[in-house]
């Protein structure tokens, strides 16, 4: 089984991205052939500072390794270093109806958020994502719930290509978690925790004091009981989900454990548990941030391996479409 996923180097990794996606990536490393990449071309669809952008890509690589990805078990590379991603995007553009892209939720949200800089790349974002996946003949793509629509479109594009030019591209399946697939913002449990609004995030590498502050000020609900109820208690339900996924204790057990306790007590325990669980992540990141040469070597090794697969697919695509080879 071949597995692939990507993450943008837009900001530090938050616990939503970790619980919704990266935790699965770490577990899948020993179950299949895994390919993970840093989607730097995707990140360029919103404003970036050219002076610090490449450094952010390296920092994202450090954060992925600090979260448990093992370069001996999976391929890790930067998207822009494998030119075939851009090349396949162009070809897939020619079979993708504009209407399909205009109805993408992420496009609608981001074009509102960045209304002064809506560019063609922002609209074309899902086609580049389709190319990322289809280049590698992937079985399964572990992502958070917000990416499900892009994955559906990827399947549609693959099917359309195969219909038009003959069977060439593998049609992939999304792997989305039921619980954890959508972690909500601490300051607004009706909104997704998202890097594009850093104030909504608890970052995986936040220092203990910051963790404590963010958890203690997290928005909760009216009432007093610690109970999982998405409709009446979205705030507490989100905190219970986070507690359960980090500690491994089922939500039902947590409800029992905190039955006689109030919100403040529950939050204190949650903060203490998170500070302890995230300590090795912080330690590893500090260590790896000093080892730029090593990080670059890992990405270079990943690039070479990725390129072999991507080039083979691209050769077939070029032949099928009728380009000179």
Which residues of the chain form contacts with ligand ADP (CB under 6 A)?
7-8, 10, 16-17, 20-21, 143-144, 146-147, 181-183, 192-196
Separation of alpha carbons 182 and 193, rounded Å? 8
DSSP 146: G
Contact 228, 219 (CB under 8 A): no
Residue from 65, 143, 184, 278 touching ligand TRP (CB under 6 A): that is 143
Query: Nearest approach, Cβ of 268 to ligand TRP (angstroms)?
Result: 32
For the four alpha carbons of 241, 247, 251 and 256, in that order, the dihedral sign comes to negative
Is 147 a binding residue for ligand TRP by CB under 6 A? The answer is yes
Q: How many residues bind ligand TRP (CB under 6 A)?
A: 13
Residue with tokens 């450094």: 55
- Which of ligand ADP, ligand TRP, none sits in contact with 141, Cβ below 5 to 8 A by type? ligand TRP
- Quote the strand ranges of 39-166, DSSP E: 74-78, 140-142
Number of Cβ within a 10 Å radius of residue 188: 16
Spatial strand order in the sheet of 2-7: 74-78, 33-38, 2-7, 140-142, 173-175
Separation of alpha carbons 325 and 318, rounded Å? 7
Active site residue ranges: 110, 192, 195
- Which of ligand TRP, ligand ADP, none sits in contact with 133, Cβ below 5 to 8 A by type? ligand TRP
Nearer to ligand TRP, 145 or 268 (CB): 145
Query: Nearest approach, Cβ of 186 to ligand ADP (angstroms)?
Result: 11
Is 40 a binding residue for ligand TRP by CB under 6 A? The answer is no
Query: Nearest approach, Cβ of 129 to ligand TRP (angstroms)?
Result: 4
- Which of ligand TRP, ligand ADP, none sits in contact with 66, Cβ below 5 to 8 A by type? none
Q: What would the two tokens of residue 138 be? A: 């992937």
Number of Cβ within a 10 Å radius of residue 45: 22
- Which of ligand ADP, ligand TRP, none sits in contact with 132, Cβ below 5 to 8 A by type? ligand TRP
Query: Nearest approach, Cβ of 290 to ligand ADP (angstroms)?
Result: 24
DSSP for 45-83 reads: TS---TTTHHHHHHHHHHHHHHTT--TTTEEEEEGGGST
Query: Nearest approach, Cβ of 195 to ligand ADP (angstroms)?
Result: 4
Contact 183, 15 (CB under 8 A): yes
DSSP 322: T
- Which of ligand TRP, ligand ADP, none sits in contact with 285, Cβ below 5 to 8 A by type? none
Query: Nearest approach, Cβ of 43 to ligand ADP (angstroms)?
Result: 9
Between the CA of residue 208 and those of 5, 203, 272, 273, 297, what are the distances in Å?
29, 11, 9, 11, 31
Nearer to ligand TRP, 7 or 186 (CB): 7
Nearer to ligand TRP, 57 or 220 (CB): 57
Give the footprint of ligand TRP on residues 116-135 (CB under 6 A). Answer: 129, 132-133
- Stretches 2-10, 185-193, 252-260, 302-310: which one binds ligand TRP (CB under 6 A)? 2-10
Nearer to ligand ADP, 128 or 317 (CB): 128
Question: Is residue 118 within a helix (H) or strand (E), and if so which, with residue range?
Answer: none
Q: Which residues bind ligand TRP (CB under 6 A)?
A: 4-8, 39, 42, 129, 132-133, 141, 143, 147
């Amino acid at each position: 089984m071949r597995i692939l996923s990507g993450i943008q180097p837009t900001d530090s990794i938050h616990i939503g991205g970790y619980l919704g996606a990266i935790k699965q990536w770490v577990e899948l490393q020993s179950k299949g052939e895994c390919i993970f990449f840093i989607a730097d071309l995707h990140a360029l669809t919103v404003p970036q500072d050219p002076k610090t952008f490449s450094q952010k890509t390296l920092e994202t690589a450090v954060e992925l390794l600090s979260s448990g990805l093992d370069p001996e078990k999976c391929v890790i590379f930067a998207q822009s270093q494998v030119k075939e991603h851009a090349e396949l995007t162009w070809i897939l553009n020619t079979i993708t109806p504009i209407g399909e892209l205009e109805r993408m939720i992420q496009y609608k949200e981001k074009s509102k958020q960045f209304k002064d800089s809506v560019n063609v790349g922002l609209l074309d974002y899902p086609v580049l994502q389709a190319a990322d996946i289809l280049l590698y003949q992937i079985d399964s793509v572990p992502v958070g719930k917000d990416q499900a629509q892009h994955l559906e479109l990827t399947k549609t594009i693959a099917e359309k290509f195969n219909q038009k030019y003959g069977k060439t591209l593998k049609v992939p399946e999304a792997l989305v978690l039921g619980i954890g697939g959508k972690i909500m913002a601490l300051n607004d449990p009706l909104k997704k925790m998202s890097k594009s609004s850093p104030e909504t995030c608890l970052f995986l590498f936040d220092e203990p004091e910051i963790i404590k502050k963010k958890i203690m000020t997290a928005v909760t609900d009216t009432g007093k009981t610690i109970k999982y109820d998405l409709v009446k208690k979205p705030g507490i339900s989100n905190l219970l989900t986070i507690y359960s996924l980090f500690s491994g204790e089922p939500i039902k057990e947590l409800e029992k454990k905190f039955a006689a306790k109030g919100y403040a007590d529950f939050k204190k325990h949650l903060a203490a548990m998170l500070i302890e669980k995230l300590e090795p992540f912080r330690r590893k990141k500090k260590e790896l941030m000093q080892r730029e040469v090593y990080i670059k070597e890992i990405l270079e090794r990943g690039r070479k391996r990725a390129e072999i697969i991507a080039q083979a697919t691209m050769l077939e695509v070029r032949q099928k479409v009728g380009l000179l080879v």
